[in-house]
């Protein structure tokens, strides 16, 4: 009898417990997103005035303008470059951390993710110091007499890629570490004892087993990179135009909210496409590894 009462009231209690959370999410996330979709269909007039209507004008303006296509292009370019660099550079660290038996392992893991505890604004500032014309790299090269002017590493895409790579590497390392669960070392041992040399073990055993982790890391870095604002704005020095910086510019400088909203919708579409591609790739990978070879 007591169990029956619990069952019946259970649903109502659960709903009551969920209510504050649902309300908070609707107010801070659901409603604003609906609002931005609606805004993208309005018409932007000069001086920030907005004509309430339903039109695809803003999308037509954005997609009919070569400048915005360049913005979309460099956003994707930035995403791809940062993803490749961050994944390639994080892979050895993650592999090392998953295989090491050192008693310093805990400290080394902490060091690899420590940058996450530092504000991204502060780390971007650090990269400005390193990459600037008077910065660490250029200063050192000049002192060594290798160059007389300066290598352009800031105020362009190169600098943004370098900084974002470092900023997102801890995420990539973490994603890979949790995805490397199947790397027990036993299979590698077996392959080695059966006569495979070290490269062969890596190519035929370690790499295939670690691919799911690599894929997750790549997705994470890509979606973070195409929506990054702080680093492109600061290191780009106003000369790197990506969707995120353009959304801010349209919203606060040009005061064309419908266009800013349309750009946001485009970024969301880009975002969702990538997530779908990831899910496809992940399923294909699972099907492959499930098959006995």
Partner 1 sequence: MGRALWRTLIAALYLFLLAPIIVVLIVSFDTSPYLVFPPTGFSFGSYRQVFSNEGFLNGFRVSLVVGAVVAVLATAIGTMASLALVRGRFRGRGAMNAVFLSPLLVPHVVLALSLLLLFSPLALTDTYLGLTLSHLGIAIPYTIRTVSASLATADTGCEEAARVLGAGPFTTFRRVTLPLIRPGLVAGLVTSFLISFDEAVISLFVAGNRVSPLPVQVLQYVQYRTDPQVAALSVYLILLSVLVVIVVERSLGLRRTLR
For residues 210 and 177, give the distance between their C-alpha atoms in angstroms, rounded to a whole number: 9
Segment lying near partner 1 (by CB under 8 A), choices 9-17, 63-71, 183-191, 279-287 = 9-17
Q: Which of 44, 79, 115, 179 binds partner 1 (CB under 8 A)?
A: 115
264 scored as a contact of partner 1 (CB under 8 A):
yes
Total binding residues for partner 1 by CB under 8 A? Answer: 75
Q: Whose Cβ is closer to partner 1: residue 212's or residue 257's?
A: 257
Q: In whole angstroms, how close is the CB of 208 to partner 1 at the nearest point? A: 20
Please answer whether residues 222 and 281 qualify as being in contact, where contact means their C-beta atoms are separated by less than 8 angstroms. Answer: no
What φ, ψ does residue 44 adopt, rounded to 5°?
-85, 125
* Burial letters 193-219, b for 16+ CB under 10 A, else e: eeebeeeebbeebbeebbebbbbbbbb
Site for partner 1 in 183-242 (CB under 8 A): 198, 223, 226-227, 229-230, 233-234
Q: CB of residue 288 vs partner 1: minimum separation in angstroms? A: 26
User: What is the Rg, in whole angstroms, of the alpha carbon atoms belonging to the chain?
Assistant: 24
Distance separating alpha carbons of residues 202 and 61, to the nearest angstrom: 50
247 makes contact with partner 1 (CB under 8 A): yes
**Residue 11 touches partner 1, criterion: CB under 8 A:** yes
Shortest gap between Cβ of 169 and partner 1 (angstroms)?
6
Longest CA–CA separation in the chain, Å:
87
Q: Near partner 1 by CB under 8 A, which window of 4-12, 55-63, 204-212, 280-288?
A: 4-12
């Amino acid at each position: 009898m007591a169990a029956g009462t619990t069952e019946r009231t259970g649903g109502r209690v659960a709903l009551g417990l969920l209510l504050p959370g649902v309300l908070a999410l609707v107010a801070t996330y659901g409603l604003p997103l609906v609002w931005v979709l609606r805004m993208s269909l309005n018409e932007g007039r000069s001086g920030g005035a907005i004509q309430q209507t339903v039109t695809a004008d803003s999308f037509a303006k954005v997609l009919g303008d070569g400048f915005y296509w360049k913005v979309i292009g460099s956003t994707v370019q930035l995403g791809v470059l940062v993803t490749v660099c961050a994944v390639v550079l994080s892979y050895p660290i993650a592999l090392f951390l998953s295989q090491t038996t050192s008693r310093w392992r805990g400290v080394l893991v902490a060091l690899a993710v420590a940058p996450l505890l530092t504000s991204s604004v502060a780390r971007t500032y650090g990269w400005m110091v390193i990459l600037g014309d008077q910065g660490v790299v250029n200063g050192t090269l000049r002192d060594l007499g290798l160059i007389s002017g300066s290598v352009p590493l800031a105020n362009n895409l190169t600098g943004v890629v370098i900084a974002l790579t470092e900023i997102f590497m801890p995420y990539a390392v973490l994603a890979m570490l949790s995805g490397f669960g199947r790397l027990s070392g036993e299979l590698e041992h077996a392959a080695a004892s059966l006569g495979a040399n070290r490269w062969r073990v890596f190519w035929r055993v370690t790499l295939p087993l670690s691919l799911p982790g690599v894929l997750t890391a790549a997705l994470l870095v890509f979606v973070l990179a195409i929506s990054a604002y702080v680093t492109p704005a600061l290191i780009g020095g106003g000369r790197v135009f990506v969707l995120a910086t353009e959304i801010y510019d349209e919203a606060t400088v040009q005061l064309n909210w419908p266009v800013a909203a349309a750009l946001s919708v485009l970024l969301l579409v880009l975002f969702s496409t990538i997530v779908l591609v990831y899910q496809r790739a992940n399923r294909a990978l699972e099907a492959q590894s499930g098959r006995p070879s």
